[in-house]
Amino acid sequence: MNIKDLNETEFAPYQAPYLMLVDDTWSLTEELEVSLHNFIRFVQDIPMEKHDYRYAEGKWTIKDIIQHVIDAERVFAYRALRFARNDSTELPGYDENHFAATVNANNRHLKDLLTELSAVRHATLLLFKSFTTEELLRKGMASGYAMSVRALGFCIIGHQNHHMKIFRERYLGEV
């Protein structure tokens, strides 16, 4: 399954900008793998003095954002699992700002954050590889919106790519 296969009934409108950042060259599982390697290489090339940098008062550091990407992936993968298993319970949203305020990512080593991201992604990849085509098409409700299992997988990728774009623009001054 490819990002081009999604239709607008499979995701929340606010997720469309993230989904536009997913490469349509690869299948969902291929892109889950490729995007992880791209992200890790990208972050490893960021100068060390930028890891704890905030581009404005109250904004997250690069370490905070990496932890946020990890947390969001866990939430999205959990939702995908519930929906794939035909759980009809509507799932609530989560407060990413509360998560960030309580996690203390800036006291962690970058290597540890990237190792955790890699472990989480490998678990996510195995989860999505285990889904049948029928399971990938199943939908559930999260944060008040119907979402398909496959859309959640693509949201994991798009969300990560969104933050790479933010790193480039706001932390590294790239255009």
Tens of pLDDT, residue by residue, the chain (175 residues)? 899 999 999 999 999 999 999 999 999 999 999 999 999 999 999 999 999 999 999 999 999 999 999 999 999 999 999 999 999 999 999 999 889 888 889 999 999 999 999 999 999 999 999 999 999 999 999 999 999 999 999 999 999 999 999 999 999 988 6
For the chain, what is the domain count?
1
**What pTM did the predictor assign?**
0.95
C-alpha 149/C-alpha 81 separation (Å) is 8
C-alpha 151/C-alpha 33 separation (Å) is 16
Q: Which residue carries 């996510």 as its tokens?
A: 124
| Residue 101, pLDDT score | 85
Tens of pLDDT along 78-98?
999 999 999 999 999 999 988
Q: Cβ of 51: how many Cβ atoms within 10 Å?
A: 19
C-alpha 142/C-alpha 146 separation (Å) is 7
Q: C-alpha angle with apex 118: 115 to 121, nearest 5 degrees?
A: 150
C-alpha 147/C-alpha 8 separation (Å) is 10
Tens of pLDDT along 8-26?
999 999 999 999 999 999 9
Do residues 65 and 141 lie in contact, with contact meaning Cβ atoms separated by under 8 Å? Answer: no
| Residue 111, pLDDT score | 96
State which residues form the domain around 74: 3-171
Q: What are phi and psi of 159, to 5 degrees?
A: -65, -45
| Residue 16, pLDDT score | 97
CATH number at residue 12: 1.20.120.450
C-alpha 133/C-alpha 149 separation (Å) is 10
3-state secondary structure 12-34: CHHHHHHHCCCCCCCEHHHHHHH
